[in-house]
Homo-oligomer: A and B are copies of this chain.
Amino acid sequence: MDTAQIFAALTIVGLFVFAISGALTALRNDMDLFGVGMIAFVTGVGGGTIRDVLLGSFPVWWIADPNAIFICLAGAAVATLAQPILTSRLNALIWADAMGLAVFTVLGAQAALAVEAPLVIAIFMGAVTATFGGIVRDVLLNEAPLILKQDIYATAALIGASAYIGLLSLGAGSALAAVLAAVLTFAIRGGAILFNIPSPKYARPRKSELE
């Protein structure tokens, strides 16, 4: 089993986990079956879709590979049927989501390099691929995107994508760079989960402190 196969397998897991997280949020918002399936799908494929549109890679990736639809619908079905169990396994979900974040970050940067985008764009597309599924989910559910507010999440993707580009620039093999960058992204996100580290904000006096 080579690196490409491992990443293909991890992509399926990432899609599945992102779809479950989307479906759970949709169920909490009292969506109907179509709404749950649609939010699961959008959460799973949304980041890569926005990346493909911005890069002009058409048709977008899941049209060429409609298996993504079935994986996301399977995630939606599992979330709907096993909702009570999953909610009590939230911890497991958060870790699976961290794995999805790591895999999607590397895949996003790879896709940008494949169309010869500038390096800074490749880093940006790594973060977009990993985070915009969740952002579109929150926009559709009329919630302020959590990813932009708290937790080291997008930050982990940005650092991971930068590491991937940096390692390639230093002459590392493509597979080695991908694995190291994904592990780094996962480690940063995992550290934030374990030690409950808030995301960096610029410190400034709040109104409540001034009053």
Please give the residue numbers on chain A whose beta carbons come within 8 Å of chain B beta carbons, in ascending order.
26-27, 29-36, 38-39, 49, 53-56, 58-60, 63, 66, 69-70, 80-81, 83-84, 115, 117-118, 120-121, 124, 127, 135, 138-145, 147-150, 154-155, 158, 198-202, 204
Contact = CB atoms under 8 A, between A and B. Distances in A.
A124 B68 CA distance: 13
A66 B118 contact: yes
Contact of A34 (B54, B117, B144, B199): B199
Contacts of A198: 32
A154 B34 contact: yes
18 contacts: A26-B148, A31-B201, A32-B148, A32-B149, A32-B155, A32-B200, A33-B199, A35-B145, A35-B154, A36-B202, A49-B54, A53-B53, A63-B117, A80-B202, A84-B204, A139-B139, A142-B142, A142-B144
Contacts of A30: 149, 201
Main secondary structure of the interface of A (DSSP, over half): helix
A86 B31 CA distance: 29
A34 B128 CA distance: 11
Contact of A140 (B120, B148, B199): B148
Chain B CB within 10 Å — which of A27, A30, A83, A127 has the most? Answer: A30
Given A39-B148, A139-B139, A33 B201 contact: yes
